[in-house]
Amino acid sequence: MPSTSNPEQQIIENLVTHLKQVSANTLLGYSATGQEKDLDLPAILVQLESINEEQRQGQRAKYRMELNISVVTKTNKGTTFTLLDLTRSIRELFTTGERFTPEVRSVSISETQFDIAPSNAHLSFADLQLQIEVVL
């Protein structure tokens, strides 16, 4: 349920909706550690890391929001390619030049960190740091 009273919440909800174009199984604030049985895979997990006010002019302010985006899947012989495909799709989603919400001024994505589990049926991850500047 979108919230118009909290602009930060609305931005996060729009981000999750945007990421659902890559995978309908996109969850906010969800840790996969120890949750393998409850989690449909592959999945995209979004966690808000920080919000920093960078500049203020009257009622309006520019904020930097940092989020961790994890792609998670069970380890098997195709895990590396699954993670590569999903992270590439996420990167492409943010390089179209279109804003996923009007408040966003810029988006940057870090390098992708892979953590491939050594044995089948364990979880493997690909992590990206997403940084967005918004004016509220």
Tell me the pLDDT tens digit for each residue of 35-74. 556 778 899 999 999 999 999 999 999 999 999 999 999 9
Could you give the CA distance from residue 53 to residue 36 in angstroms, rounded to a whole number? 36
The domains found in the chain, sorted by start residue, are 7-135 (3.30.2000.30)
Largest Cα–Cα distance of the chain, in whole Å?
55
3-state secondary structure 50-63: EEEEEEEECCEEEE
Q: What is the pTM of this model?
A: 0.88
**Mean pLDDT in the chain?**
90
Cα angle, residue 87 at apex, residues 43 and 16 outer, rounded to 5°: 55
